[in-house]
């Protein structure tokens, strides 16, 4: 998504599960990532017929109207905190969507999807900066892999002066999304997520489904599922638009995906029990 972007839902705090089988909540998130992957190419094609900001404005407006019509009773209990939270998160969403949409005018939809995925390893680093929560070792490894992957995905062999405007706009889009995730974490448990969703003008059906699903699974499993989004975007871009990338760029894309998963892992150090006294 950003082309239908993800973590506008509030991450569940439930304990992780070790089962590899997908339950109905996880299947719902997998379906969402497929739609997200498809939206990159759809948005890129739509920009042939529309100005980027007009497109984003219409998209937000239609989503907000649909949510309001379906949720008039819920809005009656709207608090000032929910208004502030929704406006702050909504601003980040607007920046994320707008920058990504403008970037899609000059780069392939699959490349946009992989660069957007950088928001995941960025979140722990930005939490350290703004919330004083230091990253784990795996967070650092994931962020390093993501940076290397981004450099390779930008295909430096084909560019004389480094990354182009489209790539940079999409990087800033990923930063806006990372800030959005931090804000959601900050307000989690203090607001009614349905009312905040309406205020932040999120994509109606996807947002409600995410909020429903993530209340029942761990944040780690949800993030691993979300990592599939750029993969779907790459597949759809290849099948329907014949988008091609060099072997080096594809390796960079793989590094970004692996970094998303790695950054969510937590190392468990087993300590030896103290030796028995003689």
Average pLDDT over residues 94-98: 84
Token couple for 210: 């995410």
Question: Which runs of consecutive H residues, i.e. helices, occur in 132-276?
Answer: 137-153, 165-187, 193-199, 204-214, 219-226, 229-241, 247-262
Question: Does position 200 have pLDDT exceeding 70, yes or no?
Answer: no
Confidence of residue 15 (pLDDT cuts 50, 70, 90): very low
pLDDT score recorded for residue 272: 57
Number of alpha carbons in the 13 Å side-chain half-sphere of residue 79: 9
Average pLDDT over residues 59-69: 72
pLDDT score recorded for residue 13: 42
Token couple for 155: 């295909």
Q: pLDDT digits over 100-144, tens only?
A: 888 888 888 778 877 887 887 888 888 888 878 888 888 788 778
Token couple for 152: 């390779």
pLDDT score recorded for residue 173: 92
pLDDT score recorded for residue 180: 83
Position of tokens 């989503």? Answer: 63
Q: pLDDT digits over 210-229, tens only?
A: 656 766 766 556 666 666 66
What average pLDDT does the structure give for the chain?
A: 71
Higher pLDDT among residues 169 and 25, named by residue: 169
Q: Helix/strand/coil (H, E, C) string of 8-38?
A: CCCCCCCCCCCCCCCCHHHHHHHHHHHHHHH
Average pLDDT over residues 8-15: 42
Question: Does position 150 have pLDDT exceeding 60, yes or no?
Answer: yes
pLDDT score recorded for residue 175: 93
Question: Does position 153 have pLDDT exceeding 80, yes or no?
Answer: no
What b/e sequence results for 153-163 when a residue is b if at least 16 CB atoms lie within 10 Å of its CB, and e otherwise? bbbeeeeeeeb
């Amino acid at each position: 998504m950003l082309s239908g972007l993800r973590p506008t839902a509030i991450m569940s705090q439930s304990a992780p599960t070790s089962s590899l089988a997908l339950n109905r909540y996880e299947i719902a998130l997998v379906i969402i990532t497929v739609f997200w992957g498809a939206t990159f190419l759809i948005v890129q094609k739509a920009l042939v017929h529309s100005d980027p900001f007009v497109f984003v404005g219409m998209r937000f407006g239609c989503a907000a109207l649909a949510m309001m019509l379906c949720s008039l009773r819920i809005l009656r209990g709207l608090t000032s905190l929910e208004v502030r939270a929704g406006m702050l998160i909504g601003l980040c969403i607007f920046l994320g969507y707008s920058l990504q949409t403008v970037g899609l005018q000059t780069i392939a939809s699959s490349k946009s999807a992989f660069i957007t995925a950088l928001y995941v390893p960025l979140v722990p680093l930005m939490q350290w900066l703004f919330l004083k929560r230091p990253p784990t070792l795996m967070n650092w490894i994931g962020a390093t892999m993501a940076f290397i992957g981004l450099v390779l995905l930008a295909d430096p062999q084909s560019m004389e002066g480094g990354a182009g405007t489209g790539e940079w706009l999409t990087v800033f889009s990923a930063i806006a999304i990372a800030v959005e995730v931090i804000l959601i974490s900050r307000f989690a448990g203090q607001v009614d997520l349905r009312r905040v969703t309406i205020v932040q003008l999120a994509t109606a059906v996807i947002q409600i489904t995410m909020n429903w699903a993530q209340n029942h699974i761990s944040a780690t499993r949800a993030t691993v599922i979300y990592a599939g989004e750029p993969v779907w975007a790459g597949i759809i871009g290849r099948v329907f638009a014949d988008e091609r990338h060099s072997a080096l760029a594809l390796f960079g894309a793989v590094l970004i995906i692996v970094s998303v998963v790695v950054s969510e892992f937590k190392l468990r150090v087993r300590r030896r029990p103290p030796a028995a006294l003689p």
